[in-house]
Amino acid sequence: MVDDNVQQAAIALGQDWDLQLPDTLSEEALLRLLADRIVTVLERGPETFFQLMYRLDISEKKLNAILLEDDVAMKIARLIYDRQIQKIQSRQVNKMTRESDDPELKW
Distances (CA, A) of 82 to 9, 25, 33, 98, 100: 9, 16, 15, 24, 27
Single-letter amino acid, residue 33: L
105 in a domain, yes or no?
no
Q: Is the dihedral of CA 80, 87, 89, 23 positive or negative?
A: negative
86 in a domain, yes or no?
yes
7 in a domain, yes or no?
no
65 in a domain, yes or no?
yes
Domain that holds residue 56: 26-98
pLDDT of residue 98 exceeding 80, the answer is no
pTM: 0.81
Find all residues with CB under 8 Å of 55, minimum gap 6, and list them.
16
Tally of domains in the chain: 1
Mean per-residue pLDDT for 81-90?
Answer: 93
Find all residues with CB under 8 Å of 24, minimum gap 6, and list them.
none
Find all residues with CB under 8 Å of 42, minimum gap 6, and list them.
49, 73
- Among 77, 21, 30, 22, which residue's Cα sits nearest to residue 49? 77
Query: For 21-77, what is each residue's pLDDT tens digit?
Result: 888 788 999 999 999 999 999 899 888 888 889 988 998 898 989 988 899 999 999
55 in a domain, yes or no?
yes
9 in a domain, yes or no?
no
